[in-house]
Amino acid sequence: AQSVTQLGSHVSVSEGALVLLRCNYSSSVPPYLFWYVQYPNQGLQLLLKYTTGATLVKGINGFEAEFKKSETSFHLTKPSAHMSDAAEYFCAVSGNTNAGKSTFGDGTTLTVKP
């Protein structure tokens, strides 16, 4: 069994401020973890993924996330928000045998204020 909890359905930051989107997961097997971004009227795009190895992973558009097994967390961060980062963000977990059987969190809508 696996599940994802995203803390905060809406996050608002000022342009240039730190972005922190929280994700906690549960999984009965070693997890694969993903962050996806959804812009209005579009499908989801992969931001970054953790499979094995280095626990700090870097993705597109300056985002990164750190896998912390002891905390069962995979929080997404970006040092400086840009207006174009406004979107909905989804954390997902899957077992290490098939990333297709992914379970998604409820999503966090990021608003960036000028």
Residue with tokens 């300056």: 62
Among residue numbers 14 through 53, which ones bind other proteins (CB under 8 A)?
Answer: 32, 34, 36, 41-46, 49, 51
d(CA 31, CA 102): 10
Contacts of 18 (CB under 8 A, 6+ apart): 77, 78, 79, 80, 81
Among residue numbers 55 through 94, which ones bind other proteins (CB under 8 A)?
Answer: 90, 92, 94
Shortest approach of other proteins to residue 45 CB, angstroms?
7
Shortest approach of other proteins to residue 15 CB, angstroms?
26
CB 64 within 8 A of CB 56: yes
Contact residues: other proteins, CB under 8 A: 6, 9, 32, 34, 36, 41-46, 49, 51, 90, 92, 94, 96-107
